[in-house]
Amino acid sequence: MKVQGVHYHRDVQDGTARAAVFGISDGLVSNVSLILGIAGASTDPSIIRVAGISGLLAGAISMAAGEYVSLQAQKELVERELLIEKESIDTNLEDETAELKAIYEERGIDSDLAGEVARQIMSNSEIALEVHIREELGVNPEQLGNPLMAAASSFVSFSFGAFVPLIPWLVGEGNSAIWTSAIVGIACTALVGGVLAQLSGRSLFKTSLRQMLVAAGACSATYLIGSLLGTSIG
């Protein structure tokens, strides 16, 4: 039930939205850097296309696998702690009540009031478990996220981001493709920065500029390295 005049927060603990935003960002930066690095070493457009597609697939699979493993591991760790806490509440009710009271006292609540609040919470085992997990681990057991959804979100978003700087090479080649790929990739990172700014409430200009500078720095570095390697090999 929503109360008028009270603000509500977005779910920032669920991994799906986070995976989507960072997947696009990582896909853009990593693949535009890879493409320009290869372009600096070789002018053969077929090699660059193969490298870009390979980077897209390898990165998307890697990101999805990593997202699934990390979120699944986090979920299993919290579920394990839930079992431990539940057993402790069932067998050591007085100790758990005293522990909850102490937590509230540390936060400045009067001792008598803290004791009363702790006793009322502990009278309901389900609420008691949820409160203890929130207070002791800092997580909401109902918002652990779905590892499969997060992995799928990461795969799709990374693929989308990585595909953008590859487009100029599917329809062109040479310096025009290099510049278009760099400009499109960096411009899209600015859009991602704008989305992050909206979600975090930070400066649109500063966040977008930060994303663009990171992408531009990565592109410049890989292109320079590719050029040096191409020259030395040739």
Q: What percent of the chain has pLDDT above 90?
A: 66
Question: What is this structure's pTM?
Answer: 0.78
Residue 110 pLDDT greater than 90, yes or no: yes
Query: Looking at the domain assignment, is residue 188 inside a domain?
Result: yes
Whole domain around residue 55: which residue ranges?
15-79+144-233
Query: Looking at the domain assignment, is residue 136 inside a domain?
Result: no
Mean pLDDT within 94-122: 93
Q: Token pair of 68, please?
A: 């699934």
Structural domain total, the chain: 1
Q: Lowest mean pLDDT of 28-37, 60-69, 72-81, name the range.
A: 72-81
Mean pLDDT within 208-225: 93
Query: Looking at the domain assignment, is residue 128 inside a domain?
Result: no
Question: Under a CB-based contact definition with an 8 Å cutoff, are residues 212 and 193 in contact?
Answer: yes
Query: Looking at the domain assignment, is residue 138 inside a domain?
Result: no
Mean pLDDT within 4-10: 49
